Amino acid sequence: MGFEFKKKGKIMGLTDEQKEIKKQYAGYKRKVTEVAGEIHDIVEDSIWTDYIKLPELSVKVGELMEDVNRFKAKYDFLK
């Protein structure tokens, strides 16, 4: 059983299963952040040579965000 704490005036307690789901959710979000970081690096450092990679990376961010949103929609405690 998880422990309870207050967050924005609500008492929140996460079960072990919810904690595991939250870790999975963080993994989905991390993947989006990594690809967004690649886009950022190209824009900051190598736009003139690597601009061709941007459309593919943009599509990948969109697909990964869809995964994040689908996963998040399954679990009310993630909202």
Grouped pLDDT means (10 residues each) for the chain, 79 residues: 51 86 98 98 97 98 98 94
Number of neighbours of residue 35 by Cβ within 10 angstroms: 19
Structural domain includes residue 24: yes
Residue 68 belongs to what domain range? 19-78
Number of domains making up the chain: 1
Structural domain includes residue 9: no
Structural domain includes residue 53: yes
User: Given this model, what pLDDT does residue 13 score?
Assistant: 87
- Look at residues 69, 66, 58, 52 and name the one whose alpha carbon lies nearest to residue 35: 58
E strands, the chain, where? 4-7, 10-13
Structural domain includes residue 67: yes
User: Burial level of 38, CB count in 10 A (0-12/13-18/19+)?
Assistant: middle
User: Given this model, what pLDDT does residue 26 score?
Assistant: 97
Structural domain includes residue 43: yes
User: Given this model, what pLDDT does residue 56 score?
Assistant: 98
Structural domain includes residue 6: no
Structural domain includes residue 8: no
Residue 49, H or E segment: helix 47-50
Structural domain includes residue 57: yes
Amino acid occupying residue 68: V
